[in-house]
Structure 1
Amino acid sequence: MFELIRMDLRRACRQGYLFIGMALLIGMMLLSYVLMLLVSSPENLSAMAAQGAEVVADDYAQAERMQNMSVLEYLHGMLFNGAMWLLMTAELSGVFCTEDFTHGAAKNIFSLLGNPWLYLGARAVSLFVIVAGIEGALFLFALVCKPLSIFPAWGGTVLDWLQLYGSGLLLGWAMSLCMMFVSILFRREGVTVLLGVIFGCGLLVPALGQVCRALGWQPLEQWTISARSQAVGLTFVPADYAVTLAVCAGWAAVYLLGSRLVLSWRDLA
């Protein structure tokens, strides 16, 4: 099991999964920062208005809010205001896991390990470390570059920062286990990439909400990984963080059990 974890992490570094994830996330953060610089300057807004662009009072108010934004608020927006974080973890982990089957390594892995649970446990640990490393690189880059940025303050307390990182890690890990299940079920890279977009962007969540309302059920969509991602707040609230932890742990158990069930009725390779 530990040998498989070591091999997974070495493969993630050698084939660039870890560094691609870091580069994509940091690149998106820099692009977002540049765009924010452009629209947070009243002078730029006035210049755009002079050139014929439609600039209203709300645009100036938003620019003022951006100028007062903290680093914590900016990272929160990068991770949870949108689907970028979950989409990236879904795609990277999906392709990473599918390689076991598309490259024929699964047969050798299962023959050496014997027990499929060892494979699933090792892969879950590997994905946890990979997601933690990618998110950690984003946080470290933001902290190092803060003196060069326009952000006036760090924002929040130590607990707020820890809950932001922990929530991103748990949600990203749960999504990566979802894609591990998908890769074991379909074993096709194209299908995995397509479903990674669907699940990572939460495209099925609104449909689930509509079905629940039509049937008079409780809003089950609030317990999905995507919906929980949108519910993560800026400040540490123990009850809210406990819900995030419970949702991620529940989905992790579902995907691990589902993966084991698939391995019991499909050829291991």
Structure 2
Amino acid sequence: MVAMFRMDLERMWKSKSPYICLAFLILFFYFAGIMLLVAIRPELRQAALDMGMEITKSDELDFSFLADQPRIEVLHSMILGGGGMYIFLCGIMVLFVCSDFESGFAKNIFSLESKRWKYIFSKMALMQIIGIVYFIVLVFSSFLFSKMTKMEFASSSWMDYLRYMIVLCAMNGGFCAQSMVILMITRSKAAGIAAAILLPGGIVTAIIEAICNLFDFSILKWTLYGSIKNITFPLTLSQIAFPIAVGIGWTILWLAISIVLIQKKDVA
């Protein structure tokens, strides 16, 4: 498995997709940051209004409140809490796995390695590393944004970042394992990309939750999207325990299904 993971790591390092996705994430964060600046700085707000932009009083209050929050909460509200990063991470994995099957690389691997679960675990470990790197880069990008705009957010302790990163890993594992199941069933890039958008983006969760609400019960807190969306700050061990448990639980379930599916002879 170590050799397989090392090979995956080298291939991903040479691939363009993770760098392109990271660039988009940073651009999204900076765009959201600029909108925040426009809303809270009078001169920028007036210039935006003069150009025809609509900024309601509610928008001003929301942005003003956000500007006073700790940096980790700002990152969560702007880009991490809405599923955006998980969409990119799942998309990267979908493209990577599909390229393995389309090129025949997966078939060669499975002919040499009877324990096919190692293939799945290698991909999952790779996506966790990419997720951690993305998180670290986004944190440093937020400091760079503050430096360039002279906009300082309330400080967050290193423990806050560490706790959030643990939650992120749990959620990333769940979403990527979920996408892996779709790929093992369909081996379709289109289906995989659709799953990477609809599941981490919360669209499927919102539909199911709406149906459940008709019968007076909710499943939101038990879902991956609901767990990350409803995180509250400041982060404490008791507050992150439940989303971590949800993430690990779904990861184990989807991984188990993926392993069963990949062991089928017709997968290769």
Name the TM-score, length of structure 1 as normaliser.
0.88
Report if aligned partners of 1:184, 1:259 keep a CA contact under 8 Å in 2.
yes
Q: Does 1:91 align with 2:95?
A: no
Q: Which moved more, 1:17-26 or 1:242-251?
A: 17-26
1:46 is aligned to 46
CA shift digits 1:53-77 (9 cap, x unpaired) = 6655445444543553443232121
Cα distance change of structure 1 residues 78 and 164 upon mapping to structure 2, 3 Å threshold: farther
2:251 is aligned to 252
**How do 1:229-268 residues align onto structure 2 when only pairs under 5 Å count?**
229-268=228-267
Q: Which moved more, 1:127-136 or 1:141-150?
A: 141-150
Q: How far apart, CA to CA, are the structure 2 residues paired with 1:66 and 1:240? A: 20
2:8 is aligned to 8
Cα distance change of structure 1 residues 68 and 169 upon mapping to structure 2, 3 Å threshold: same
**How do 1:105-254 residues align onto structure 2 when only pairs under 5 Å count?**
105-215=105-215, 218-254=217-253
Q: Which moved more, 1:234-243 or 1:206-215?
A: 206-215
Cα distance change of structure 1 residues 26 and 139 upon mapping to structure 2, 3 Å threshold: same
Q: Which moved more, 1:153-162 or 1:17-26?
A: 153-162
CA shift digits 1:22-62 (9 cap, x unpaired) = 21211211222222222222223334556776655445444
Report if aligned partners of 2:261, 2:267 keep a CA contact under 8 Å in 1.
no
Q: Which moved more, 1:5-14 or 1:29-38?
A: 29-38
Q: How far apart, CA to CA, are the structure 1 residues paired with 2:267 and 2:50? A: 65
CA shift digits 1:129-182 (9 cap, x unpaired) = 122222222123223453333332442333222222222232123212211222
Give the CA deviation at 1:118: 1.9
Report if aligned partners of 1:39, 1:45 keep a CA contact under 8 Å in 2.
yes
Q: Provide structure 2 residue ranges, at least 5 long, that are not aligned to the other structure.
A: none
Q: How far apart, CA to CA, are the structure 2 residues paired with 1:268 and 1:259? A: 11
Give the CA deviation at 1:233: 2.2
Report if aligned partners of 2:166, 2:244 keep a CA contact under 8 Å in 1.
no
Give the CA deviation at 1:2: 0.6
1:104 is aligned to 104
Report if aligned partners of 1:175, 1:225 keep a CA contact under 8 Å in 2.
yes
| Counterpart AA for 2:123 | R
| Counterpart AA for 1:15 | S
Q: How far apart, CA to CA, are the structure 2 residues paired with 1:190 and 1:138? A: 28
Q: Provide structure 1 residue ranges, at least 5 long, that are not aligned to the other structure.
A: none
Q: How far apart, CA to CA, are the structure 2 residues paired with 1:199 and 1:8? A: 25
Report if aligned partners of 1:87, 1:201 keep a CA contact under 8 Å in 2.
yes
| Counterpart AA for 1:31 | F
SS at match of 1:151: coil
1:22 is aligned to 22
Report if aligned partners of 1:160, 1:234 keep a CA contact under 8 Å in 2.
no
Give the CA deviation at 1:20: 2.1
Report if aligned partners of 1:177, 1:252 keep a CA contact under 8 Å in 2.
yes
Q: CA RMSD in A?
A: 2.4
